[in-house]
C-alpha cells in the first residue's frame, strides 16, 4: 500500500515480502516441531494419558505433516505477493 502512494517504485518489494512470509512460515513450522517434541517428552516421561497422545498426533498431522506436504512452509512467490 505504501508503494502505491509513493512516486518512486520500490524495487524488490515483492522479493522482500516473499522472504518475510517465508521466514514467518519457517519460524511457525519450527515452533510446531518443538511443541511436538515437548509434548512427546511430557507424554513419555511425565504424564501419559490417551487424550494427550491423541492431541499430540492430531497436532503432528494437521500442523506439521500437512504444512510440509502441501508446501505451506515456503510459499510460492506468486502466493506470497497476493
pLDDT digits (tens, 9 = 90+) for 21-60: 888 888 988 988 998 898 888 888 887 788 888 888 888 8
Residue 67 in this model has a pLDDT that exceeds 70: yes
pTM recorded for the entire structure: 0.67
* Residues with Cβ within 8 Å of residue 80, at least 6 apart in sequence: 14, 17, 18, 21, 22
Q: How far apart are the first and last CA of the chain?
A: 12
Region of 25 on the Ramachandran plot (φ > 0 left; ψ -120 to 50 alpha; else beta): alpha
Identify the residue whose cell numbers are 509513493: 6
Rounded CA-CA distance 65/7 in Å is 44
What pLDDT does residue 79 have?
56
How many CB atoms are closer than 10 A to CB 9? 9
Amino acid at each position: 500500500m505504501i508503494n502505491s502512494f509513493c512516486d518512486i517504485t520500490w524495487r524488490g518489494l515483492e522479493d522482500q515480502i516473499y522472504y518475510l512470509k517465508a521466514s514467518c512460515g519457517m519460524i511457525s513450522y519450527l515452533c510446531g516441531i518443538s511443541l511436538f517434541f515437548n509434548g512427546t517428552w511430557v507424554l513419555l516421561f511425565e504424564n501419559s494419558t490417551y487424550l494427550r497422545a491423541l492431541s499430540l498426533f492430531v497436532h503432528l498431522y494437521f500442523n506439521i505433516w500437512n504444512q510440509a506436504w502441501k508446501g505451506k512452509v515456503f510459499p510460492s512467490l506468486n502466493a506470497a505477493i497476493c
